[in-house]
Amino acid sequence: MRAFLAIDVPQEIQARLAAIQEQLRPVSASARWIAVESIHITLRFIGEVSEERREDIDTALGGLTWKPIPIVVRGVGFFPGARSPRVLWAGLEAATMEGLAKEIDSRLERAGFDREKRAFRAHLTLARARGTRLDGEIVTAATEMAEMELGSFVADRFFLYQSTLKTRGAAYTKLKEYLL
């Protein structure tokens, strides 16, 4: 099974993100839009794991203590940047989230999982390019949203998810809850 650890986004913020998607959808034929109910904050993508290794994840994260994380959702941008955009994202301000992601990665590495190779960048993915990059029209249209306030919440838990790839995108199933 494909697995990852993530924080859920409250419905009121999902609704604001859906409004941004609807505003930008007509200007881009190159975007593959993420279903709003699937938008989450990925703390750690784990990848393919067996059922036995799933227990190792639980053991590694057992006893993890972390304070709830205040999160502000603000603005949109692009990975790797506006000159060659492949991913449209909403930004996050969450002072201790990177530390939590590093602690999770460290615990999983001690349990025998590969270390995350990419630096953690807190964000919410809204769309991905269908081909090699998103078109310039979406970059232009998103400029006015660069600093838009989209809400705030406090994350007091995260989840182990199973990701099942389907023809219309991935379907996510919650397997375990971890309280902060």
Q: Which CATH number fits domain 2-179: 3.40.50.300, 3.40.50.970, 3.40.50.2020, 3.90.1140.10?
A: 3.90.1140.10
Is this prediction's pTM over 0.75? yes
Enumerate residue ranges in the chain where pLDDT < 70: none
Is there a contact between 127 and 21 (Cβ–Cβ < 8 Å)? yes
Find the catalytic residue in 8, 28, 40, 139: 40
At 81, the amino acid letter reads G
Total residues belonging to the chain = 180
Our answer to whether residue 161 is catalytic in this structure is no
pLDDT recorded at residue 165: 87
Tokens of 51: 């059922």
Provide the pLDDT for residue 167.
80
| d(C-alpha 174, C-alpha 168), whole Å | 19
Rg of the chain taking only CA atoms, in angstroms: 17
pLDDT at 108: 98
Of 39, 105, 123, 124, which residue is the catalytic one?
123
pLDDT for res 170: 84
- 40 classed as catalytic: yes
Render the burial of 124-148: b for 16+ CB within 10 Å, e for the rest. bbbbbbeeebbbeebbeebeebeee
